[in-house]
Structures are given as structure tokens and as C-alpha cells.
Amino acid sequence: MNLEEYFERIGFHDPLYKPDLATLKVIHKKHIMTIPFENLSVHCGEKITMDLQAIFNKIVRSNRGGWCLENNFLFSWVLNKMGYDRTILASRVFNCVIDDFFPMASHLINKVVIDGKAYIADVSFGVSCQLREPIELISGKDQSQATAVFCLSDKEGLWVLEKTGRKPKVLNPDFANSNLLAKKQTTPIYCFYLVPRERDHFLAACHRLQTDPASLFTNKSICSLQTATGFRALIGWTYSEITFKPEEDVDVYDMKNIPDDELEQILREKFNVKLVNKLQPINKKAFYTL
């Protein structure tokens, strides 16, 4: 594994980079616009592991994406090799069905300290909850990005990340009531404590998320990628192109269903993903919104 291969993968070409905030913002944004958030391995008969070499081979050398335990774990290695002061944290994702955070801390994120200020870097949540760049670890401050307005709140040591997005403007009337559309513009995303974690902390979560019949990731095949003007997503057979329109306070959703024989083409052309094994798409009823 080497940084040069990763830099080539995300299109970062600055041999004189410094481990500062400006560089962090650049590589964070390039990562999310090059490497998809996806769980397709679960539906291709492939096992997802927390082995860093396997993750590097998959994402960097095989032009795949991954979920947070892969993307953010790889990003943590990148940050460390680049000279950043980074710490892995574990977060619990919010579930609007139970109106609470999941009990299992399954979402891996990174805290980065630069010039005495702490930031949260998360390159793998996907869709409209994706941070375009790191956000400062400060309580009660609205931090506006292209995706949404994000805000962290310190609740006696438990940090909560919340987002306020825009209303969806759905072009295809067949999807006007799709359960992939968020019903609320303001919602929590995840919560976390500032307790340093290592790889082994996530091993049980990694196994459970890809094997538990109740897991979101066994019930839906997901692939999403940020773009210059919004993001793309393929959930089961539903392909969506979302365009941010902040000047109109809406996001435009162009949604359609894709037949089985066109899924591989969509993955290649829209996400730059070419699968080795055949995808078995799935979109069972489970908590997930774009």
C-alpha cells in the first residue's frame, strides 16, 4: 500500500502538500466524488472485512467503493500517513422509525486535530447526509455545505450531528410518495463520544451488518456517489440523480427504475464501478432515505 496509488485513485496531484486544513478539505471532497458509498459486496456473494490491505486492494486497486467501515478506515490510514493527528471514533446512526439512535456503534468516523482545532472527517455516509468537507467540532454552530446545513451539539459529552436539508422536488410523479424521500428536512444523523477506538472495536458490527436479516445492508443494495452539483444513487433498481438548488430551497430528484439487464451499465457509467460477481439487487422495506 502506498499513498501515491490512493492519490491517483482520487485525482489528487500535489507533491508539495502540507497536512493542513486546506489539504484535508481537498482530499475529503475528492474522495467522496470519486469513491462511492456502497454495500454491493453484500449482494455479490463477497465478504467485507476490516483488513486494511483487502480494503486498499478493493477500493484503490479495483476501483470499487465501500461502506463506512471500509472508506473511513482507509481514510484514517491515509490521514496518518500524510502526517495528520487523527483519531478513530465510533458513532451510532439515527433511526427515524424508532426515533432514536441504534444501540450499536457501527459507523466509523475520524476526528482530526489541526492547529489546536478539532474536525470531524466522514467520507462515507452517502446521499444527502454526506459531508462535503470536514466540519469543526464545535457545539451549536451551523456549518453550511452544498449538501445541507450541519450542526454538532455537545450533550454532556455525547456529540450529536444534525442536518437541515432542502425539500425534495420530484420530477417523476410515480416517485412522489417514494419511501426513499425524507419526510423531514431537519433530522439527527448520528451521535458519538470522543473515545478513541481501534479496528477491533468494529469487527462485530462489520459481521452483523452484512449477515443480520434485520440489517439495512442485507435488505437494500446501495451505491451512491457525490457529484459537482448533487449526487447519484442506485438503491435496488431505483436510480436517482439529485441536483442541489439552494437558490430555490429545493433539491431536484430525477428518479426511475432500471431493468436488470441495464444495472451493470449504470454502475459502470454513473459510478465507475465494475463488479466481478453478479449483483443481486434488493430493495426490501427498511429504514433508508436519500
Catalytic residue ranges: 68, 107, 122
Q: Which residue from 135, 72, 109 is spatially nearest to 195, judged by alpha carbons?
A: 109
Q: What is the DSSP string of 22-42?
A: HHHHHHHHHHHTTS-EE-GGG
DSSP string across 166-230: -EEEESSGGGTT-TTS-S-SEEEEEEE-S----GGGGHHHHHHHHH-TTSHHHHB-EEEEE-SSE
Q: Is the dihedral of CA 57, 232, 72, 123 positive or negative?
A: positive
- Which residues, 6 or more positions from 116, have their beta carbon under 8 angstroms from its beta carbon? none
- Name the grid cell of 69: 467501515
- Which cell goes with 132? 462535503
Give the residue among 217, 242, 232 at the shortest CA–CA distance from 273. 232
Q: Which cell goes with 281?
A: 439487487
User: What angle is formed at CA 101 by the lines to CA 100 and CA 103, rounded to 5 degrees?
Assistant: 120
